[in-house]
Chains A and B, each alone.
Chain A
Amino acid sequence: MNDAAQRRDDELVVPIRNESDLNHARMVTRETCKLVNVRGYQAQKIVTTVSELARNIARYASGGRVRFRVDATEEHIIIVAEDDGPGISNLDEILAGDYRSRTGLGRGLLGSRELADHFHIETSAAGTIVTTAFRYGGRKTWTTSTT
């Protein structure tokens, strides 16, 4: 393993270059979940999301990384998948569910949006950044809006 996760301040960064980096990304996700005692369905949702986003980087971008961070105050696991690839020109079509993938089932991005408690995607010719957050513990919402 020459591609060990790097620790920068409070986040863990896993570089993604090709599909053989996916197992590593999933492992780091499981470890992150264990750290905050997230298991079962909740952990499965997070690992699957990372698997989807990391695969997209490996397949459609020349390279990128997945960043892991735990926000213990808000009780969220924050996962950012970013790459320096060509960007997604037909993002609106994809997010509207009108896109037919030629390379897969075409459920990677839409599926991740369903799984995450917070999902945000920014894309341009300079690359794509997908930010997701998963809550753990007792809190209900991403922004505490309940009274």
Chain B
Amino acid sequence: MDDINYVTCIPLWDCLLVPLHGDVSDTHADQLVTEVLERIQKDESFGVLVDLSGVWTLDSHLCATLARLALAARMMGAKTVLSGMKPEIAMTLEAMGIELRGIETVATLEDALGSMGITRVRRGPDQDDDLLSQDLFGVRERERELGGPR
């Protein structure tokens, strides 16, 4: 019926990032499985990061589909990690007695990357060409405090 459903697979080093959003229809969920499995084979991916931050509702069927995807991906040598599940969705699944067995579930996309062995390497604070990352880590803030008027 609706052709606005397309699957986004973003290559990320040797992983695939798959962000889901809105209402994931059954057709969309099926397309997702096919598309991701094809991409794993084509790109020789080792990991699939499914980000659920934008998903409105997860029901029993979508959980079963994600579990099916994870199982098939594993048989192709890729590990699946789910991230970003909204608290109210997690609570609903818990109340329904639905377990996402066999799939690793983490809080954030950073955790998911971490689980794939991808971590951020910070540049040293002495490298003042990288002011942006210093700002992000509050390094400059700290320096200002330390070097402030005594």
A115 in contact (CB, < 8 A)? yes
B92 touches A115 (CB 8 A): yes
A48 contact set on B, CB distance < 8 A: 57-59, 92, 96
CB proximity of B33 to chain A, nearest CB, Å? 15
Main secondary structure of the interface of A (DSSP, over half): helix
Q: Given known contacts A20-B2, A47-B57, A104-B60, is B96 in contact with A111 (CB within 8 Å)?
A: yes
Give chain A nearest CB distance to B6 CB in angstroms: 15
A77-122 contacts to B, CB under 8 A, are: 104-105, 107-108, 110-112, 114-115
A-B contact count (CB 8 A): 74
Say yes or no: is B88 at the interface (Cβ < 8 Å to chain A).
Answer: yes
Q: B58-75, CB under 8 A of A: which get 1 and which 0? A: 111101100000000000
Complex interface: chain B residues within 8 A of A115 (CB): 92, 95-96
CB proximity of B75 to chain A, nearest CB, Å: 20
B1 an interface residue at 8 Å Cβ cutoff?
yes
Contact surface of A with B, Cβ cutoff 8 Å: 19-20, 22-23, 26-27, 30, 40-41, 43-45, 47-48, 51-52, 55, 104-105, 107-108, 110-112, 114-115
Closest 3 A/B residue pairs (Cβ): A111-B96, A41-B88, A20-B1
**B residues whose Cβ falls under 8 Å from a Cβ of A:** 1-2, 23, 25-27, 56-61, 63-64, 86-89, 91-92, 95-98
Name 9 A/B residue pairs within 8 A (Cβ), A-sorted: A20-B1, A20-B2, A22-B25, A44-B57, A44-B86, A44-B88, A52-B59, A110-B96, A115-B96
